Structure 1
């Protein structure tokens, strides 16, 4: 028997697709709000799908109510800079709550969206039961590290990444030889990695962490093959991520690529 219908607000990337597929396999009734120019067309295979721009807040709310959705999940990336640079296109509903924000950090915007939708009677649920197999475990995933200096960089980098994430600046920092080379801002993880390579040269360490009190309902750290591809271009050596609070997409392919690129990957408990 199906549980209550779930509404999935889907942005860019494989995470909403993985959730939709998992929900479909569990016979979960799913209504999908796919964000134009971000979400995958493949989502349409797993539930009734509506396509909207992220600026069309009222239409999204009306559609979810029409579909009698109560429980919501919001997954996938909508570029922070896209929101900042398209404020003039937002409908009146979106403008009203976005312009009332005290700041425009990613957490503030996402929290505002959740609060606004909860006022309308929707409830945001933790998607982890559908995605628990993706959470990175503690320890080495591939290519153990022997170099003591790199081990020190991991400890140092993860501490900084945690602090930066808690300030809601970004989730990723690039370090080398005890120096912070780059910090993720609105450009996103992949461009931060590339910038770290340009500034630090070969052998940088990429560290990614969740906020100290990470709300698993939104903006959970994610890594995948694309992360490794950016690291290969940057000639980065190690990827360290927070265990239990980071999603790893396409694990088998990821491990194969990490071995091919000679990149060490570590799940760190914080």
Structure 2
């Protein structure tokens, strides 16, 4: 397929920008990458060097005006966001330009939805339509059902039901999209740190409990918590598929294994799985159950 259309790609960190770039090129689109200095993998330069229909422009996270000027100069009328931009960056030493500073001052809150929605509105006012980040990656959306050889056991299923109730509640407040549960007790809730850090925090807590148990190994006391964790990840109630789409990858499974998590529950049709076959293989090897509903 050959087309002269140019797609703007606002690239955050991780593999997501590369997957979207390859998918857009497979559709014959020329891709203009706005690479964020604080986030984007430098490997994007090699990808552009190997393909004359990919051009990369590096800019700071605070340079909203430069982003718009770059897209205008490149003839971009549609753009997509792909890859995480750490929410904590809004509290960093990055200096916003006048356009971004004005946008931040006018926000009621600095939640992800509020911030990215405002950026999308600015782009729209400038004739640049922000489209869904899943438009080119629908085959990677989680399919409904049990995805691994092992289904969740009875206790894990109870944790999933409880975890989804909690996860959807916090997602409704645009706080995070992941909770970690054990024995129907909430061990960790995602905030700005991201999914993997949330899982690691839950694992650290349980390692602390293991140490305490070892100290009193001759005690008659028993623990009320099962020593396995269930990770529940959901989309927001009114998920805007243009940005902040739930994502999991093989590193998620690796982090779960280190933390002692045995089950992963996803939202079917609204969670991207980067390399689904590799994720399932890694989970099967680790004895981790994955289910999407």
Bin the TM-score by the shorter chain. Answer: over 0.9
Q: Where do 1:191-210 residues align within 5 Å?
A: 191-200=197-206, 202-210=227-235
Contact 1:145 1:151 in 2 (8 A): no
- Does residue 62 of structure 2 align to residue 62 of structure 1? no
Corresponding residue number in structure 2 for 1:226: 251
Give the superposition deviation at 1:127. 3.4
Matches within 5 A, 1:38-187: 38-44=39-45, 45=47, 47-86=54-93, 89-145=95-151, 147-187=153-193
Whether the 8 Å contact between 2:9 and 2:79 is mirrored in structure 1 is: yes
- 1:33 maps to 34
Does the CA-based 8 Å contact 1:176-1:200 persist in structure 2?
no
* Aligned-pair CA distance for 1:241: 0.7
RMSD over aligned Cα atoms:
1.5
The question of whether the paired residues in 1 share the 8 Å contact of 2:142 and 2:269 is answered with yes
> Which runs of 5 or more structure 1 residues have no equivalent in the other structure?
none
What do the CA deviations read for 1:42-100 (whole angstroms, capped 9, x no partner)?
3342511111111111111111111111001011101000122235x111111110121
1:189-215 Cα shifts (integer Å, max 9, x gaps): 111001112234531100000011211
TM-score of the two chains, using structure 2 as the length reference? 0.87
* Stretches of structure 2 lacking an aligned partner (at least 5 in a row): 49-53, 208-226
Does residue 6 (structure 1) correspond to residue 7 (structure 2)? The answer is yes
Larger Cα-atom Rg:
2
Query: In the comparison of the two structures, how many residue pairs are matched?
Result: 267
8 Å CA contact 1:143–1:263 kept in 2: the answer is no
Shift of residue 146 of structure 1?
Answer: 5.4
Distance of 1:43 and 1:23 partners within structure 2: 15
Distance in structure 2 (CA, Å) of the matches to 1:182 and 1:104: 22
